Structure 1
Amino acid sequence: MQTQTSPKQNIGYRRNLAVELLDKDKRKQYLHAKKHGLPDILKYMYRPVLKDCKVVAASIVYALAAGVLPLLSVFIVEILVRLLMQNDASPERLITAAGIYAAAFFLCTAISAQLKNRFYSYFMRLRILFMNRIMEQYMTMDYGLFENPSFLDDASIWQRCLYNNANGLEGTYHRIFEMGGTLVSAVLLGGLLILVSPWIALSGILFVIVFYLVQKNIAVYKHERREELQRAARRSQWLSGEASDFRYGKDMRLFKMAGRFEQAFHPLIRAYEKLYKAFTRRELQLSFIESAALILIDIVSFLVLASKVHANAVSIAEFVMLLTAVTVFTQTIQLFAQGLAFIKSETMYVGDTIDIMEADLVSTGGENHVPGSGPVSIELRDVSFHYPGSDTIVLEHLNLYIPAGEKCALVGVNGAGKTTLVKLITGLYQPTEGQVLINGVDAATIPQEEIFSLFGVVFQEVQPLALTIAENVAASDTGIDRDRVIECLKQAGLWEKVSKLPKGIDSPMLKVIQDDGVVLSGGENQKLSIARALYREGTRMMIMDEPTAALDALAEEKIYREFDEILSGKTALFISHRLASTRFCDRIVLLDGGRIVQQGTHEELLKEDGLYQKMFTAQSKYYRSEEGEATA
């Protein structure tokens, strides 16, 4: 395998994260350089919460209202027993006591329930804000990082943290909010029991410590194997998505592929079973320690209460109250310990998510700028390339110069490396060896955003977003030049279709969000993508990578000839597997096996006894055959 190296990390060169983060140790150091302690994570999480006085006040009131409920239950038992034991006990006094208790219980329950429900959506909004930041990272991070499965397994652990409201970030917010009441209850009940004997309270504190440490051990064990779990989850999600994707419905049924998908799930299920067996084994090994600590509370409580009864130190009413208090106290501290363990477990994944949110996933650097204005020249100088983590050479010692303002066509068989060449020119990837020069400046020394701004690109695979047609063309939802959108749609040959829609350019696309969304054909989607490339201002080079693959040959040639007029004053690179459609270009470059094998005008290449002539002759026979069948 050829060694892939990033550009020299001198001042002025951009980093190449797609290559740097292939190494596991470097990736861990880069993404998780800081060791987040629980206080650090909570401080980060509660930075926006503590600025909101309403939420802080609600948390305090909830804690007090929910916290006194168990204490009310303890005291009402003692009061009712004491009243029943009195000689002059009357139903009115019992009813009054029960009524006061019911009113207080109802009031505290109503307050705590209202506050919990009212602020539930507040914590959901915080989770969505975190998710938005993650999505922004995914939309801006180096394109080459998507070629690294190990990076994706590590980075996508955020899904464990942000995909639902019961676990992860939002689950932690909710649990801490509720634990305020649990803490108040534990303190009040513990204080009551300390008056009887400090040993009961101390055994409760011991249980909390033991339970927390045991659950922390289990949580750390699971967290250490999170990448294995995420790898299986990512593959399962992909298979599930493909199996349920409407686009593959015909293939599934006609070729009976359901069984093959089911077979693909089997190794993933076994991987899940292996992991969860290991988790269960660890939990079983340590569960007896938790049980022993819980039993210790019961033993201590029994001995203390038994000694008090034996010494006639408590009345029957006090005994019932203390017995109730011990029972409720045990349940409360168990709930509190479970909450602490939950927070410790979930915040580890919150810490991972913070790492991804805060990581710089764009190859920064580059101090040079593209000189001049107008069309740019492109030169690939002894360029070789293989995708990160792969040993397959896609381009090998390739040299190509495209003068400013030239209309160059790049042709070749499938897999020749045409699309890869586009990704190198546009800065989505950096070459393994050699240089890409823009107006004579090494692209590795130019900031990435500046490189992106130079090009208007129509890629082979086109998928519109669930926005309006105007927003898809303008690639924005603000400051849209509507006249320019219409003009670009006309130039791309889509205006006739759009103008007949009830809402015109304001028509929503797809049916993902709007039921009346417009679903375009494959060829129409490509025209929409062409309109978007034409709309972009400041473009100094246009690249069309099989932009009309879904169109028939005549429609493709018509659009290309219109491009010849539209793109005057810009450098242009056209990629097509249909050789006849690129005859208008100043030069045609034939790529085969990652190398340039021929280049020249259409007429010059036809005169040569080479691959271009053979491909053109074969394609011409095919189209003539189609025309003959149509005539017949």
Structure 2
Amino acid sequence: MGLYIPYFITVKEGEKLDGNINYKTILHTFSYWPKLLILYYKTNKIYFIGIIILTLLQGVSPVISLYLTQLFVNTIVTTKDSSIEGVLIVFLFFVGFVVVRDILGLIREYIEGLFQTLLSNHMNMLVLTKASTLEQEDFENVEVQDQLKRAQQETSFRPYQIFQQILAFITSITTLISSVIFLFQWNWWMSLLLLLTPFISIPSYMKLSNSEFVLHWQRAPRNRMSWYYTHLLTHDKAFKEVKLFGVADYLLHKFEGIVEGFYKEDKNLAKKRLQLTLVFRTLNLILMGFAIFMVAKATMLKQLLVGSFISYIQAITLTQSNSQHLAQSLVGLCQHNLYIEQLFHFLNMQAAQPQPNSHEGKGIELIKIESIEFKNVSFTYPGTDRYALKGINLFLKRGDAIAIVGKNGSGKSTLIKLIAQLYKDYEGEILINDINIHDYTTESIRSNIGVVFQDFMQYEMPVRENIGISDYQNMDNDDKIYESAFKSGISDLVKALPAQINTQLGKWFPDGIQLSGGQWQRIAIARAFFKDGSIFVLDEPSAALDPESEKEVFEKFTKLIDDKIGIFITHRYTSTRFADRIIYMEDGELNAIGTHQELMHVCNEYRYLYNLQIESFQEPAAVNT
């Protein structure tokens, strides 16, 4: 399978990544400018236009300053009588220009500061909005994770950095053109030589930029790994094991190894850049010295006035520095392709979609789920060949209370993920109300499903948001929040909290209250109940509950789903007594369906696991007697 790399790199898995920044790359860099400028324009139209106008004015201001300086000095030198009227007029023009230039500079600084904040916010919103459209399959794809990490990592500063470089490019080219025109009055071939010489350095800087590009591209996995070590050392969930296992030093060593590797790589590149810079700066200084010598010679021969001598020397310096800056800016803009290309690729990336079939694209809004039917459904997780589900045939209707049991990896949770459309690429058919599930909009399907997964979220937010986030449009409904807390058996705790449903949970933010594992799980169950769904799914709901709490949760769950579809996945076989039917799964297949008594007679595996679990409770009792 080919690995996605920006336009000027082609690489297959297992091959060495190799960049190729060249003149074609430079031209291609400008092809991104329309997209970038539209993006900047949409951030704030007035600020963007104002910055562009002020940038152009700033570009021509150095040459205007040269001209006024030349005029001022020459007027002083050539004035022979005692009248200073002419000198005063030029002086006032010069002072006026400096004042206007400085005021415009302050205005630009003010606007750019505001624009930087707006751009950072706009880019973060674009990346986060795109991330919210991705599917489960995308988040489990390592390449997508790398793209997301690269896009997210530099969003807060890189787009503005690119904007500044574009502005600097515009300023440099404006100043360069105007200063070369100014020098043409003195010597046309010298002005062209000063203009073109710095561009000799471009091929060498391109070669170095290739190395930098490839290096930073290959760092994405190590960047994510360093972030993960940081996460383990700073996150409260990992804190207990880090302390108990005494692995802080080990994790610090791993983190240090990565960042030291980054430093060594950067240092090596910095040395190469320094060597290149010294060589080409020396060449430019020699040329600039020769040009200044020629101006001085012409002045000594009375071919130039003193004012012209001063302004031409400044123009030579200006031309040389701007042409050099422009050459490096071109290479720098190419380096930004690493970010620009990945940013637009990520923003334009299509989320994982189901395989095309005749049932897609109708967009029916699902109001209520009366029944769900699996017809010969099989499924493999992306990137694997092993079937997680094989030939599933199952019919569920409103009012059913179903327990799903089986060994780890038997496909219990996968079944729920397909109903919730977290994965859409499978064999067979899933019907809702006798209509193919792909005929409905994904949003309307998910709005009908309330799920508590094994790895449920513990939101570092107030109780109100922890419960109400499943139906955030009704989050301000206090009665509904308390009702959901009551249904999950957590209402007494919520009412005892300092600010009740407005109490901050977790320890990440000030005044937060930390809950036990079982209490967090009840909050998650309340979150599922808050949703006015047609199906409620509890995946290992008793994992963090004591027996009394488990009994209370299941009793309330069975009452709640009286006219809905209820599914709970469990490893506690004693919990199956709350279900109307029990599904026993093994190796991705439905091995048996029936009541507890029926499965005890017809399913050897179910009977064995049930008795094994019962014996584990009975043996200690026998010892005590």
Q: Which residue of the partner structure matches residue 516 of structure 1?
A: 511
Segment drifting more, 593-602 vs 310-319: 310-319
- 1:483 maps to a residue whose letter is D
Query: Which SS does the other structure have where 2:447 is aligned?
Result: helix
- C-alpha deviation, 1:575, in angstroms: 0.6
Q: Which residue of the partner structure matches residue 18 of structure 1?
A: none
Q: Where do 1:369-408 residues align within 5 Å?
A: 374-408=368-402
Percent identity between the aligned chains?
21
- Per-residue Cα deviation, 1:113-136 (whole angstroms, up to 9, x for no partner): 342133322233123212212112
- C-alpha deviation, 1:143, in angstroms: 0.8
Rounded to whole Å, the distance in 2 between the matches of 1:557 and 1:27 is: 54
Aligned length in residues? 597
Q: Pick from 124, 136, 140 the counterpart of residue 131 of structure 1.
A: 124
Segment drifting more, 190-199 vs 607-616: 607-616
Measured on the aligned residues, the alpha-carbon RMSD in Å equals 4.3
Distance 1:441 1:466, change over 3 A: same
In the alignment, does 2:54 pair up with 1:61?
yes
TM-score, with length taken from structure 2: 0.80
Rounded to whole Å, the distance in 2 between the matches of 1:177 and 1:628 is: 82
Gaps of at least 5 residues in structure 1 are 1-22
Q: Which residue of the partner structure matches residue 352 of structure 1?
A: 342
Distance 1:315 1:257, change over 3 A: same
Distance 1:259 1:48, change over 3 A: closer
Distance 1:292 1:371, change over 3 A: closer
Q: Which residue of the partner structure matches residue 504 of structure 1?
A: 500
Distance 1:321 1:129, change over 3 A: closer
Distance 1:508 1:194, change over 3 A: farther
Query: Which SS does the other structure have where 1:53 is aligned?
Result: helix
Segment drifting more, 562-571 vs 237-246: 237-246
Distance 1:312 1:341, change over 3 A: same
- 1:574 maps to a residue whose letter is F
Q: Which residue of the partner structure matches residue 568 of structure 2?
A: 574
Distance 1:226 1:565, change over 3 A: same
In the alignment, does 2:434 pair up with 1:456?
no
Q: Which residue of the partner structure matches residue 14 of structure 1?
A: none
* Greater RCO (CA < 8 Å, at least 6 residues apart): 1
Rounded to whole Å, the distance in 1 between the matches of 2:481 and 2:5 is: 43
Q: Which residue of the partner structure matches residue 44 of structure 1?
A: 35
Q: Which residue of the partner structure matches residue 284 of structure 2?
A: 294
Rounded to whole Å, the distance in 1 between the matches of 2:393 and 2:258 is: 45
Segment drifting more, 600-609 vs 265-274: 265-274
Q: Which residue of the partner structure matches residue 206 of structure 1?
A: 196
- 2:50 maps to a residue whose letter is A
CA contact (8 A) 1:378 1:439 kept: yes
- C-alpha deviation, 1:559, in angstroms: 0.6
- 1:473 maps to a residue whose letter is I
Segment drifting more, 555-564 vs 385-394: 385-394
Q: Which residue of the partner structure matches residue 579 of structure 2?
A: 585
Q: Which residue of the partner structure matches residue 9 of structure 1?
A: none
Q: Pick from 541, 546, 551 the counterpart of residue 547 of structure 1.
A: 541
- C-alpha deviation, 1:340, in angstroms: 3.9
CA contact (8 A) 2:535 2:566 kept: yes
CA contact (8 A) 2:368 2:534 kept: yes
CA contact (8 A) 2:292 2:316 kept: no
Rounded to whole Å, the distance in 1 between the matches of 2:376 and 2:548 is: 37
- C-alpha deviation, 1:582, in angstroms: 2.3
CA contact (8 A) 2:232 2:239 kept: no
Rounded to whole Å, the distance in 2 between the matches of 1:372 and 1:353 is: 35
In the alignment, does 2:277 pair up with 1:257?
no
Q: Which residue of the partner structure matches residue 326 of structure 1?
A: 316
Query: Which SS does the other structure have where 1:378 is aligned?
Result: strand
- Per-residue Cα deviation, 1:175-217 (whole angstroms, up to 9, x for no partner): 3345554444434433322211123432343246445565456
Q: Which residue of the partner structure matches residue 560 of structure 1?
A: 554
Segment drifting more, 488-497 vs 443-452: 443-452
CA contact (8 A) 1:542 1:571 kept: yes
TM-score, with length taken from structure 1: 0.80
Rounded to whole Å, the distance in 2 between the matches of 1:274 and 1:434 is: 54
Segment drifting more, 423-432 vs 104-113: 104-113
- 1:319 maps to a residue whose letter is F
- C-alpha deviation, 1:565, in angstroms: 0.7
Query: Which SS does the other structure have where 1:46 is aligned?
Result: helix
- 1:119 maps to a residue whose letter is E
- Per-residue Cα deviation, 1:340-377 (whole angstroms, up to 9, x for no partner): 43334325522321222133315276146789975443
Segment drifting more, 102-111 vs 453-462: 102-111
Q: Where do 1:21-420 residues align within 5 Å?
A: 23-24=1-2, 37-47=28-38, 49-50=40-41, 52-61=45-54, 63-65=56-58, 68=61, 72=65, 105=98, 108-159=101-152, 161-162=154-155, 164-165=156-157, 168-207=158-197, 209-211=199-201, 215=205, 218-219=208-209, 222-223=212-213, 227-262=217-252, 264-265=254-255, 268=258, 272=262, 290-291=280-281, 294=284, 297-298=287-288, 301-302=291-292, 304-305=294-295, 308-309=298-299, 311-315=301-305, 318-363=308-353, 366-367=360-361, 374-420=368-414
CA contact (8 A) 2:417 2:423 kept: yes
- 1:229 maps to a residue whose letter is R
In the alignment, does 2:504 pair up with 1:526?
no
Q: Where do 1:1-16 residues align within 5 Å?
A: none
Query: Which SS does the other structure have where 2:185 is aligned?
Result: helix
CA contact (8 A) 1:494 1:528 kept: yes
Segment drifting more, 472-481 vs 562-571: 472-481
Rounded to whole Å, the distance in 2 between the matches of 1:86 and 1:535 is: 89
- 1:573 maps to a residue whose letter is I
